[in-house]
Each structure stands twice: as structure tokens, then as C-alpha cells.
């Protein structure tokens, strides 16, 4: 099954703040979006998966999130924080993700971070992300609306 023929959309959310991760997940699921979550790049790429009660999946490490995504072609968008738990950050994730090419290079990436450094934003944009949000300056509803718009245009 390809990504565009699915009724339900899936977003991979990488966010280090556990309480915010829960709020984001609840908001997206309320909007009918299936959510995969991770607090670190390393965990997002691991093969260990935990299913949540809502049908979403928690990726317990990064090496296999990419493998998992590639095998199932199930991620339609990525919500990415710059600062993550562990040694790697959002830039590391985008670099690894984009390196895989193929359908991955078409998956929209939305960076949502506390970091407002213009040089960092430019670096992310050069790497091909769709949009960069500073958490303090953007409401959750605005970001979710932008994600919905992006998903609507990808069908």
C-alpha cells in the first residue's frame, strides 16, 4: 500500500519534553492522525516498537525508526524537535533521514524547537525541511493546521 492511498495519516513525532510529547500526541490523535513517538534520535531508529492503546507506536530507538518507516512506508510527516534526549539532535536526524533518499525525501519535516538561532534555521532549510517553528512563538493549533495542509497537498 502506498502512502497516498491511506485513509489514516501517520506522523513520527520526535520530542524530548515528555509532557509536551503527550500533549502533541493527544492533539494529533484527536485530529485522526496516527502517531509514532520518540524522545531521541537513537530510539527513533531502533527496531524496538511499543504499541500504544490508541494504535500508535513508540519507537524505542533511532536506527530502526528509519528501517521501520522504510519497510512499512507508513510515515506521512515528521514533527521534529532540535534538542532531543541523547547525543544526537534534530540535525543528525534530518541528515540521516535525507541520506536514505527515495520516498523519504518527499516526506514533509516540521521542526518545532525552543532554539531560535537564525543560522540553525538556515541549516535546516538547506537540508530540506518544510518549516521551522519556534515553540514560544507558535501555537500548537497553528502547527497542526500547517501539517494538515501539507498532508492534504500530498495526496
Question: Is residue 5 situated within a structural domain?
Answer: no
- Work out the average pLDDT over 32-59: 58
Question: Is residue 92 situated within a structural domain?
Answer: yes
The larger pLDDT score, comparing residue 92 to residue 153, is at: 92
Question: In the predicted model, what is the mean pLDDT of the chain?
Answer: 77
Residue 141 CB coordination number (10 Å):
9
Q: d(Cα 31, Cα 78) in Å, to the nearest integer?
A: 16
Backbone angles phi, psi at 112, to 5 degrees: -125, 110
The larger pLDDT score, comparing residue 127 to residue 106, is at: 127
Q: d(Cα 141, Cα 61) in Å, to the nearest integer?
A: 28
What is the pLDDT confidence band of residue 6, given thresholds at 50, 70 and 90?
A: very low
Maximum CA pair distance of the chain?
A: 40
| Residue 143, pLDDT score | 93
| Residue 54, pLDDT score | 47
| Residue 63, pLDDT score | 52
What's the structural domain count of the chain? 1
Q: Tell me the three state secondary structure of residue 100.
A: coil
Question: Which residue range(s) make up the domain with 130?
Answer: 15-153
Distances (CA, A) of 61 to 40, 47, 117: 7, 7, 27
Question: Is residue 2 situated within a structural domain?
Answer: no
| Residue 87, pLDDT score | 77
| Residue 52, pLDDT score | 46
The larger pLDDT score, comparing residue 82 to residue 36, is at: 82
Question: Is residue 4 situated within a structural domain?
Answer: no
Contacts of 150 (CB under 8 A, 6+ apart): 77, 108, 110, 130
The tens digit of pLDDT for each residue in 66-123 reads 555 554 467 889 999 998 777 788 898 888 878 777 667 788 999 999 989 999 999 9
Cell 528501517 sits on residue: 67
Question: Is residue 7 situated within a structural domain?
Answer: no
Question: Is residue 82 situated within a structural domain?
Answer: yes
Question: Is residue 10 situated within a structural domain?
Answer: no
| Residue 60, pLDDT score | 44
Q: What is the CATH number of the domain that holds 27?
A: 3.40.50.2300
Per-residue cell: 50? 511499543
The larger pLDDT score, comparing residue 12 to residue 63, is at: 12
Amino acid at each position: 500500500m502506498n502512502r497516498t492511498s491511506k485513509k489514516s495519516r501517520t506522523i513520527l513525532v520526535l520530542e524530548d519534553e515528555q509532557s509536551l510529547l503527550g500533549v502533541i500526541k493527544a492533539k494529533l490523535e484527536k485530529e485522526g492522525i496516527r502517531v509514532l513517538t520518540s524522545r531521541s534520535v537513537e530510539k527513533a531508529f531502533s527496531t524496538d516498537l511499543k504499541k500504544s492503546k490508541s494504535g500508535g507506536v513508540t519507537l524505542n530507538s533511532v536506527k530502526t525508526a528509519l528501517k521501520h518507516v522504510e519497510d512499512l512506508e507508513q510515515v506521512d510527516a515528521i514533527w521534529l524537535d532540535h534538542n532531543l534526549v541523547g547525543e544526537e539532535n534534530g540535525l543528525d536526524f534530518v541528515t540521516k533521514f535525507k541520506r536514505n533518499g527515495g520516498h523519504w525525501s518527499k516526506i514533509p519535516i516540521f521542526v518545532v524547537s525552543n532554539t531560535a538561532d537564525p543560522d540553525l534555521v538556515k541549516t535546516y532549510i538547506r537540508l530540506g525541511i518544510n518549516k521551522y517553528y519556534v515553540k514560544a512563538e507558535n501555537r500548537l493549533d497553528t502547527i497542526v493546521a500547517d501539517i494538515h495542509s501539507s498532508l492534504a497537498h500530498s495526496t
